[in-house]
Structure 1
Amino acid sequence: MYRKEQYVFLGNEPVKAIVRNYQKEDFSELMRVQRESFPPPFRQDLLWSEEQLESHLATYPEGSFCVEIEGEVVGSITGMKINFDSNSVSHSWEEVTNQGYIVSHDPDGDTLYVVDICVRPAYRKLDVGKMLLHAMYERVVYEGMTRVLGGGRMPGYSQYAEQATPEEYVERVVAGVWRDPVITFMLRCGRSPVAIVTNYLEDEASHNFGLLMEWRNPFITTT
């Protein structure tokens, strides 16, 4: 199992943060983190249930992480292993994750797929999201997988949908002309765009588009 300790700064005060695999006793806090992270109009039926969290631990507990600060869980990330075909990128979040239950996890998969990442709003300036993604990167290296992959929302797209296609929007975000709360954050964490997916997740702000982004294992050479 995984456990890492490092410091974050609350103002000028260093405070210890613990990154670890989440456990059953964390479920109520994990569900609270989701509620705070994704308030309406985000679909509330997409937030974790206790049954889904139990399925994560039963299926692939090594890919489920949380960050704890001062005794409170402030963020979480969940992953599953898949075999990724770059020639067939079209899928929805519900299809690839089995409606969030991850039961199609492939123990021999070459890719660690990010099912979900969320951070309580009050802690988003403390690099909690980056710590969670780095735990995923370390898992990929430890298991010798090829990449971390995941579909991100594009919530800033609704502001520009009348003047840009999804592809043009992503190009301008990557160029730094526009900023997207999710895509820009992922770029800062070392992720790179792979493909835009139509009808990835029901999300009005993203016009239901998702952007697949990856982080490649630097110890594995691929062509």
Structure 2
Amino acid sequence: MADQTKKRTLFVRQAQFADIDAIVALLKKAYPTMETMVPENLRGPLSRFPQGQFVALYDGAIVGVCLTFLVSEDIALKPHSWSEITGNGFASRHDPDGDVLYGMEVAVDPDARGLKIGQRLYDARKKLVRELKIKGIVFAGRMPGYARRRRRFSSPEAYLEAAGNRQVRDSVLGFQLRNGFKPVRILKNYLPMDKESMGFAALMEWRNPDIANTEQTKGVHSTRSGGRPVRVATVQMKMRAVTSFDGFLSNVAYFAEVASDYHADFVVFPELFTLQLLSAEPKKLTPQEASKP
């Protein structure tokens, strides 16, 4: 009878703006030793990608939360920190054409453990991935047992391998591995305030079993001519002084790399963006001198 009651009163639904205060309180309770997200952070993912935010309710109270956004697989699998990939917790790097779901936060009320809340949240993410027909899920998982066992292992990679071989018990890594996630690499300085993991995180990946061909993603569309859309990135740059031509090239390279992360085919700079090179001239030029070819 007790099990039936749990099934009736525990469910997962899409998060709403009205849930923000309860989610903030839950995060503080779940991670009392770390700085957690504030209401302003939560409005980001709720506004940009509402269908990717989930809460679990038990007897009407929020006891679990899962926050996600879409991003390209290339970006998700590169070395990164939590602040970099999430835009400081605002999900500002959400890409509607992203081909993987990135897990930016998950938490369960410590007083409600044992109800398989985490499992339900993970199942909700997998269901969303299959509905969107994207490649899979990527996130960086904590390794809360590493700090107290670090003397037994030569590196966090060795600890991750031991957890995968069941030579050491790590509740978080064990849960993720049982859910079909596979380790990709160790991320250094992913979340420096996570002292239990010593700032390290295990980059984990789950592949959508419905997507047989990894090139078949949500962000690639065919046309009648057999081609594909062309993505153009336009740069709105502020004129800034440079001390050399190399400094100018460094500015250009930065914008080109950002555009590359978003799979742009072309990058368009402002028409007169080379004018900033004049600031590198040792002699102050008059307008007439500056306009000479």
- So what's the TM-score if we normalise by structure 2? 0.69
The structure richer in strand per residue is: 1
Spell out the pairing of 1:175-214 with structure 2 (5 A cutoff).
Answer: 175-202=165-192, 203-214=194-205
Which stretches in structure 1 are left out of the alignment for 5+ residues? 1-8
Q: 1:59 aligns with which of 28, 45, 48?
A: 48
Q: Which residue of 1 aligns with 2:79?
A: 90
- So what's the TM-score if we normalise by structure 1? 0.89
Q: Return the structure number with greater relative CO, CA threshold 8 A, min gap 6.
A: 1
Per-residue CA deviation, residues 64-87 of structure 1 (Å, 9 max, x unaligned), is 000111110100000010102289
User: What SS does structure 1 have at the residue aligned with 2:139?
Assistant: strand
Distance 1:103 1:186 in 2: 26
Distance 1:166 1:81 in 2: 28
Which stretches in structure 2 are left out of the alignment for 5+ residues? 215-293
Alignment identity in percent? 34
Q: Assess, with a 3 A threshold, how the Cα gap between structure 1 residues 87 and 222 changes in structure 2: closer, same or farther.
A: farther
The structure richer in helix per residue is: 2
Spell out the pairing of 1:96-111 with structure 2 (5 A cutoff).
Answer: 96-111=85-100
**How much does 1:93 deviate?**
0.7
Q: Does 1:168 align with 2:158?
A: yes
**How much does 1:163 deviate?**
2.4
**How much does 1:190 deviate?**
2.2
Q: Does 1:14 align with 2:36?
A: no
Residue range with higher mean Cα deviation, 87-96 or 186-195: 87-96
**How much does 1:15 deviate?**
4.0
Q: Assess, with a 3 A threshold, how the Cα gap between structure 1 residues 188 and 124 changes in structure 2: closer, same or farther.
A: farther
Q: Which residue of 1 aligns with 2:243?
A: none
Q: Which residue of 1 aligns with 2:291?
A: none
Q: Does 1:77 align with 2:89?
A: no
Q: Does 1:216 align with 2:207?
A: yes
Q: How many residues align?
A: 211
Spell out the pairing of 1:73-152 with structure 2 (5 A cutoff).
Answer: 73-85=62-74, 89-152=78-141
- Equivalent position amino acid for 1:193 in 2: P
